[in-house]
Amino acid sequence: MRLFYWVAGVGIAVGAALAVWSAPPRPPATAAATAAKLSAADYTAHAAKLAKSLPDGFTILIEKPFVIAADGDAAQREQGQKTVRWTVDHLRKDFFTKDPDHILDIFLFKDKDSYEKNTKDLYHQSPDTPYGFATTSALYMNLSTGGGTLVHEIVHPYIAANFPECPTWFNEGLASLFEQSMDKNGHIVGLTNWRLEPLQKTLRGEGPKEEGRAPTFKTLCSMDAATFYGPTRIPNYGTARYLLYYLQENDVLIPFYKDFLKSQKDDPTGYETLKKTLAGIGENDMDAFRLKWEKWVLALKYP
Ligand SMILES: [Zn+2]
């Protein structure tokens, strides 16, 4: 049972109501993770300031460590807030011990028009994607396209807080793994998704020429951001996502992440940790593993 308490607008500007989420008590492990330096008063002040900056029709919801501004109806708002809470709780459980050290806004725009108009008018951002995007201070989502991008974008501030030196391949691999995810025995698990087909095409040599071939794991791991997000980004995302999906399906994703975090000074790209993790499940030859992985990916199905 979840309860909303609506606080009638003390200091809140026209049209933007402030709702305070009454959170059920968190289990002790996650309570420790929530112990950021930010107080309830910090959140209230932040929410009030945000409310003042928004046009009519937005509702502000405090969902720590985020503040949500949404202009959809009650059902859409609740769905959005539930997705944020579900994602944060599941990510904390298996991956992250620290919350972001600053309050991030999540804008949940009800449809394409609201998303395009408001990102432009209010935040001077021109989205190059119909789904949503993030900056270091806010996540901008077109909620009418579903919650997948929201989950994806929530991973990034958590990586920034917990693994500041994280290489792009792992940051985007994990975020894109969970953009299509579900709960399995209380844990978040990624599922196959739309990134599968372009990767399969590339692996079969049928992808667009300008995208090139799927990178080797060694190349992928050592890519800087400019290369990862460059012309070959589609096979880069696909390779990163389905490499992590393979680790997840073999129950070694979480151990890999924890080992990588511990050994990042000696292994900044994660490749040596990847080799070690794979050796632990009997994959001692990276060339042989690559062939096996490609065959496995080509046999995957979506939907
Ligand atoms: Zn991303």
Residue 20 confidence (pLDDT): 28
Ligand 1 midpoint to CA 155 (Å)? 8
| Distance in Å, CA 48 to ligand 1 centroid | 29
Report how far ligand 1's centroid is from the alpha carbon of 133 (Å): 8
**Residue 170 placed within a domain:** no
Q: Is 194 among the domain residues?
A: yes
Instruction: Verify that 26 and 132 share a domain, yes or no.
Output: yes
Say yes or no: 53 and 189 in one domain: no
156 lies in the same domain as 188: no
Both 192 and 268 in one domain: the answer is yes
What pLDDT does 36 receive? 57
User: In terms of domains, do 157 and 184 share one?
Assistant: no
Cα of 76 from ligand 1 centre, angstroms: 23
> Ligand 1 centre from 128 Cα, in Å?
13
- Do 138 and 8 have their domain in common? yes
Query: Could you tell me the CATH number of the domain that includes residue 65?
Result: 3.40.30
Q: What is the C-alpha separation between 170 and 228, in angstroms, rounded?
A: 11
17 with 148, same domain: the answer is yes
Contact 108, 80 (CB under 8 A): yes
pLDDT tens per residue across span 252-273: 999 999 999 999 999 999 999 9
Look at residue 140 and tell me if it is in a domain.
yes
Question: Between the CA of residue 219 and those of 87, 126, 169, 173, 240, what are the distances in Å?
Answer: 30, 32, 10, 14, 11
For residue range 91-107, what is the model confidence (pLDDT) as tens digits? Answer: 999 999 999 999 999 99
What is the reported pLDDT for 26? Answer: 38
Which pairing describes strands 59-63 and 66-70: parallel, antiparallel, or unpaired?
A: antiparallel
Q: How far is the CA of 171 from the centre of ligand 1 (A)?
A: 7
- What mean pLDDT is predicted for residues 128-151? 91
Residue 169 lies in a domain: no
Question: Residues, the chain, total?
Answer: 303
Q: Report CA(232)–ligand 1 centroid distance (Å).
A: 15
How many domains does one find in the chain?
Answer: 2
Compute φ and ψ for 179, nearest 5 degrees.
-70, -20
Q: Which residues contact 140 (CB under 8 A, 6 or more apart)?
A: 107, 109, 115, 119, 123, 125, 127, 132, 133, 134
pLDDT higher at 36 or 233: 233
Residues 184 and 157 reside in one and the same domain: no
Q: Is residue 199 part of a domain?
A: yes
Considering the domain architecture, whether residues 187 and 121 belong to the same structural domain is answered as no
| Å from CA of 18 to ligand 1 middle | 29
Give the Å distance between the CA of 107 and the centre of ligand 1.
16
Please say which residue of 116, 136, 162 terminates a domain.
162
Counting Cα atoms < 13 Å in the Cβ hemisphere of 82 gives: 10
Q: Is residue 219 part of a domain?
A: yes
pTM listed for this prediction: 0.86
The predicted pLDDT at position 238 comes to: 98
Query: What backbone phi and psi angles, to 5 degrees, belong to 138?
Result: -155, 155
Give the three-class secondary structure for 6.
Answer: strand
pLDDT band at 211 (very low <50, low <70, confident <90, very high): confident
Tell how far the Cα of 276 is from the centroid of ligand 1, in angstroms.
26
Higher-scoring residue by pLDDT: 219, 25: 219
What pLDDT digit, counting tens, does each position of 141-199 carry?
A: 999 998 999 999 999 999 999 999 999 999 999 999 999 999 999 999 999 999 999 99
pLDDT of amino acid 37: 82
Do residues 132 and 83 both lie within one domain? yes
Would residue 257 count as lying in a domain?
yes
52 CA from centroid of ligand 1 (Å): 29
pLDDT at 301: 98
**Segment (H or E) for 71:** none
Domain boundary among 162, 188, 221: 162
User: DSSP alpha helices (H): ranges in the chain?
Assistant: 28-34, 40-53, 74-94, 112-123, 148-162, 168-177, 196-203, 217-222, 225-228, 233-249, 253-262, 271-280, 286-299
Is 174 inside any structural domain?
no
1 C-alpha to center of ligand 1: Å? 32
223: pLDDT strictly greater than 80: yes
Domain boundary among 108, 128, 162: 162
Rounded to the nearest whole angstrom, what is the distance from the C-alpha of residue 156 to the centroid of ligand 1? 7
CA of 90 to the centre of ligand 1 (A): 18
Q: Does residue 203 carry a pLDDT above 50? A: yes
Residue 25 Cα to ligand 1 midpoint, Å, equals 30
Same domain, 125 and 195: no
Cα(5) to centroid(ligand 1), Å = 33
> Out of 27-36, 124-133, 215-224, which region has the weakest mean confidence (pLDDT)?
27-36
Do 66 and 11 lie in one domain? The reply is: yes
Rounded to the nearest whole angstrom, what is the distance from the C-alpha of residue 152 to the centroid of ligand 1?
A: 6
Q: How far apart are the CA of 154 and the centre of ligand 1, in A? A: 9
- What domain range includes position 40? 3-162
Q: Angle 233-249/168-177 helices, nearest 10 degrees?
A: 70
Looking at residue 4, its pLDDT comes to: 25
Mean model confidence pLDDT for the chain:
88
4 CA distance to ligand 1 centroid (A)?
31
- Measured in angstroms, how far is the CA atom of residue 17 from the centroid of ligand 1? 31
| pLDDT interval class at 288 (50, 70, 90) | very high
pLDDT at 49 over 70: yes
